[in-house]
């Protein structure tokens, strides 16, 4: 079992995480507030941009292969090196989905008038 340092960009928070535990689990143990919801790699609530380092996250079904290279779902991700993560950053696919939903919501409201 190897231990890695995970630093959260923009905060004074740094934790040690083994390669056999998820980043989210280590956050819980250290009392660090990390957003999450489903805990099964689907909802993307726990997403963080990988600024530096590598993770393994084979069960991160909510990410495309390309997104998984740049984003970690902390509920699934296990470090493979020291990491720098920027929490609360979401992959482009979810940003695009949010924009479409907002547009659909505006259009639906206009149709009800």
Stretch 10-20: mean pLDDT: 95
Give pLDDT tens digits for 38-64: 989 889 999 999 999 999 998 888 999
- Reported as a pLDDT band with limits 50, 70 and 90, residue 103 is low
Angle at 60 between CA 57 and CA 61, to 5 degrees: 145
CA distance 30 to 4: 14
SS3 for 24?
A: helix
pLDDT at 23: 97
- Reported as a pLDDT band with limits 50, 70 and 90, residue 108 is very low
Nearest Cα to Cα of residue 84 among 14, 35, 27: 14
Query: Does pLDDT of 27 surpass 60?
Result: yes
């Amino acid at each position: 079992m190897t231990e890695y340092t995970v630093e959260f960009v923009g905060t004074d928070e740094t934790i040690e995480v083994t390669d056999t535990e998820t980043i989210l689990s280590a956050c819980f143990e250290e009392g660090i507030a990390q957003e999450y919801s489903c805990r099964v790699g689907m909802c993307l609530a726990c997403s963080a941009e990988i600024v530096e380092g590598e993770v393994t996250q084979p069960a991160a079904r909510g990410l495309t292969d390309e997104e998984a290279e740049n984003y970690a779902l902390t509920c699934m991700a296990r470090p493979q090196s020291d990491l720098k993560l920027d929490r609360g950053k979401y992959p482009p696919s979810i940003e695009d989905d949010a924009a479409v939903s907002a547009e659909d919501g505006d259009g639906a409201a206009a149709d009800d008038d």
